[in-house]
Amino acid sequence: MTLAVNLSSRAAGMPSSPIRRLAPLASAARAAGKTVYGLNIGQPDIPTPREVLDRLRSFRQDNVPYGPSEGLPEMLDVLHAYYRGLGLDVERSHLFVTTGGSEAILFVLASVSDPGDEVLAFEPFYTNYAGFSGLLGVRLVPVTTDPSTGYHLPPRAVIEARLSERTRAILICSPNNPTGTVYTAEELDLLADICRDRGLFLIADEVYREFTYDGRAHRSALSLPGLDDRVVVVDSLSKRLSVCGIRVGCIVTRNRDLLSAVLRCGQARLCPPTLGQYAALAMADVPASYMQRVVREYQARRDTIFEALTSTPGVALRRPEGAFYVCACLPVDDAARFAEFLLQDFDLNGETVMIAPADGFYATPGLGRHEARLAYVLEVEALHRAMRAFSAALQAYPGRT
């Protein structure tokens, strides 16, 4: 007799990526000869610094061995110098190298929360927070932010109303994916206060740290006073060096017990990628002018997309402050259907746009139906063309409201 096998409830509850679900439609549109401007995913087009690629090509070892679970010693040195260069009081022993920022989130969530525990996050949020929470059996509790305030934090009472006995941490991302919001010093202080008073970890995703505009400075959660035992930064080199595929990130915390837990998680997976780390060592040789040029380029793109969106009738948004995303409210019945329309039923002189409908970035059912995220990861001229197609599509869309 054969007894059936079943998958886990955990598996059934894992969300599928809202960013990637349109991919088959985009492939079909391209196959049909359309130019599809991809504004749907945070895949920078900026060239990787020459130093990093040259370093990779100079790999001369005769095999590719495991490295230490906490990262190559030279990688820890380079990262340590990077954080010190930011003026942050970080020791080398506060660092742990991960397989991208993704693994950093997984290991930190695992180390601070048990199945059934809760972690607060401000929606719309980076979808993969929900994926990792689901994998670990942790409940991600959303606090909704408002497009009309530029997705800045709600008042303290609103946040505290979402805390429970099971809450273990508050998870933030600043500069924010998907909204482009950069939290102010006052907002960080508010969160620090709540975490101090309520015995919570503050997990800060700062992978877009350098991507701030209009002269705005980023304040790292690592600079918050009196929170040494509860601040954890998750970080990644992916966006900073345009090396998303090397899968190198890190965890930074001054909490030794947390680092020890993270190390034990890390030993189970042996080590982060040796080749990616080897290439990334060259970040020490990349001149400051590289990042300055990249930020200038993104600010110009931000201006281009913001001006195009604000001059499109019915579209509402605040000027994004950082990262390379903008979330906008669209005059449509359903942004997911509009995204499909763009790929399936529309083109302007053979050109169209791929966007990320925002419902996937919300945990609260029904929210985000009239919003979309656009990633400005194309050059200004291409962005102009993309936005012309986007505006025309909004006029042509049958579900316009």
Binders of a second copy among residues 63 to 82 (CB under 8 A) are 63-67, 69
Q: What is the DSSP letter of 216?
A: P
Place of tokens 């994004």: 320
Distance (Å, whole) CA 304 – CA 378 = 11
Shortest approach of a second copy to residue 326 CB, angstroms? 20
Size of the site for a second copy (CB under 8 A): 89
The residues facing 234 across adjacent strands are: 205, 251
Q: By rule CB under 8 A, what string of x and - marks binding of each residue 197-236 to a second copy?
A: xxxxx------------------------x--xx------
Residue 147 or 178 with smaller CB distance to a second copy: 178
The pair of structure tokens assigned to 306 is 């913001």
Those residues with Cβ within 8 angstroms of residue 3's Cβ, 6 or more apart along the chain or in another chain = none
> Exactly one of 244, 284, 286, 380 binds a second copy (CB under 8 A); which one?
244
Binders of a second copy among residues 111 to 170 (CB under 8 A) are 111-115, 117, 128, 131-132, 134-137, 168
- Phi first, then psi, for residue 375 (nearest 5°) are -100, 125
| 240 near a second copy, judged by CB under 8 A | no
Those residues with Cβ within 8 angstroms of residue 380's Cβ, 6 or more apart along the chain or in another chain = 300, 301, 304
Residue 200 or 315 with smaller CB distance to a second copy: 200
Pick left, alpha or beta for residue 148 (phi over 0 → left; psi -120 to 50 → alpha; otherwise beta). Answer: alpha
Closest CA to 26 of 351, 285, 376, 381: 351
Distance (Å, whole) CA 390 – CA 355 = 9
| 178 near a second copy, judged by CB under 8 A | no
Binders of a second copy among residues 84 to 113 (CB under 8 A) are 99-100, 102-103, 106, 110-113
Distance (Å, whole) CA 235 – CA 102 = 9
Residue 112 or 343 with smaller CB distance to a second copy: 112
Residue 69 or 181 with smaller CB distance to a second copy: 69
Residue 130 or 393 with smaller CB distance to a second copy: 130
Alpha helix (H) ranges present in 248-287?
256-268, 274-280
| 328 near a second copy, judged by CB under 8 A | no
Binders of a second copy among residues 273 to 292 (CB under 8 A) are 273-276, 279
Binders of a second copy among residues 250 to 269 (CB under 8 A) are 255, 257-258, 261, 263-265, 267-269
> Exactly one of 25, 53, 286, 291 binds a second copy (CB under 8 A); which one?
53
The pair of structure tokens assigned to 251 is 């965890």
Closest CA to 252 of 282, 281, 230: 230
Q: What angle do CA 360, 29, 400 make, to 5 degrees?
A: 55
Shortest approach of a second copy to residue 190 CB, angstroms? 16
| 272 near a second copy, judged by CB under 8 A | yes
> Exactly one of 37, 38, 40, 48 binds a second copy (CB under 8 A); which one?
48
Q: What angle do CA 352, 356, 361 make, to 5 degrees?
A: 170
> Exactly one of 27, 28, 43, 395 binds a second copy (CB under 8 A); which one?
43
> Exactly one of 119, 243, 348, 383 binds a second copy (CB under 8 A); which one?
243
| 293 near a second copy, judged by CB under 8 A | no
